[in-house]
Amino acid sequence: EAKAQGKGRRVTYEPALDQHSAEQARTAADLRVALDTGQLRLHYQPIVRLSDAQTVAVEALVRWHHPERGMIRPDLFIPAAERTGLIVPVGQWVLTEACRQAARWRDELGALEYVSVNVSPRQLREAGFAAQVQATLLRFGLHPRHLTVEVTETAVFDGGSGLEELHQLKRLGVNVALDDFGTGHSSLGLLRTCPVDLLKVDKSFIDNITDQGERSVIAEALIGISDGLRLRAVAEGVETQAQADVLLRLGYRYAQGYHFGRPMPAEDLPAHLNAAHPAAVG
């Protein structure tokens, strides 16, 4: 440890590590600026009903339009934001923006059941997170049922106050989705008592369901669990009609993926809703 080596002595780090942390620090500093100068945008990806491929909801996904680096995907800056705590103001911005947009869509389109927002473990651990959500809903006159909060299994089952905040969100009437379901380390038994309405079955279980043999067995087991617990399930990362066909046959009712629509700016959604959809199945 650096400190143990004595005061006033310069510590030499691994060059790679040094570079890495410098990069992280730069990203975090840039992100602070991005937040203050409006470089963050939300894109929205359709969540569809498999029986007729109609969009019933959307997931808000953050994008960073960096003046020099171009568009940066969340996987490249959310981790840094989580480590530095910047995810808290970034997450609040995402929530506010998504609720503002959801209220507009409610007035203009009426067709969407909910807007889904990703919430990181760090945000959920902030005391008063649920109260912040409530204040944001009130600000835009949005009914809680029009908001879904997506959390990962780790965030929910790691102990701490995350679970309590989720219970509070439930009491408000906000829906809770378990994101990337199946990839975390939760015990399935905990699912029975945890305040979750919707399981988002991770893309990794959807990818190979059209292969020969028993490749769809996990996807089938997961919809069984979801049905048994009377939860809703959304299959993530559906890229082909063949996958959609298998999912419908397995009993899935909702899906999300490039086959049905990529994440898009808010202004593109009305046209998407009016455009021809991939052939419905069933």
Q: Does 256 bind Mg ion (CB under 5 A)?
A: no
Q: Does 46 bind ligand C2E (CB under 6 A)?
A: no
d(CA 237, CA 226): 18
C-beta closer to ligand C2E: residue 120 or 186:
120
Q: Does 182 bind ligand C2E (CB under 6 A)?
A: no
Stretch that binds ligand C2E, among 18-26, 130-138, 227-235, 252-260 (CB under 6 A): 252-260
Collapse the DSSP code of 251 into the 3-class scheme (helix H, G, I; strand E, B; otherwise coil) and give the result. coil
d(CA 50, CA 244): 7
The footprint of Mg ion on residues 85-124 (CB under 5 A) is 118
Closest CA to 222 of 195, 204, 243, 239: 204
Stretch that binds ligand C2E, among 72-80, 132-140, 161-169, 268-276 (CB under 6 A): 72-80
22-60-36 Cα angle (round to 5): 45
Among 32, 54, 66, 74, binds ligand C2E (CB under 6 A): 74
Binding partner at 75 among Mg ion, ligand C2E, none, C-beta below 5 to 8 Å by kind: ligand C2E
Furthest-apart CA pair in the chain: how many Å? Answer: 72
Question: What is the residue-wise DSSP string for 10-66?
Answer: PPPPPHHHHHHHHHHHHHHHHHHHHHHHT-EEEEEEEEEETTTTEEEEEEEEEEEEE
Overall size of the chain counted in residues: 282
- Binding residues with Mg ion: total (CB under 5 A): 7
Q: Does 120 bind ligand C2E (CB under 6 A)?
A: yes
**Using CB under 6 A as the criterion, what x/- string covers residues 209-248 for binding ligand C2E?**
----------------------------xxx---------
d(CA 44, CA 266): 6
Kindly state the tokens that stand for 123.
Answer: 């945000």
The footprint of Mg ion on residues 142-181 (CB under 5 A) is 150, 179-180
Interface ranges with ligand C2E (CB under 6 A): 45, 61-62, 73-75, 78, 91, 94, 118-120, 150, 179-180, 237-239, 256-258, 263
Residues lying near Mg ion in the complex (CB under 5 A) are found at 118, 150, 179-180, 200, 202, 236
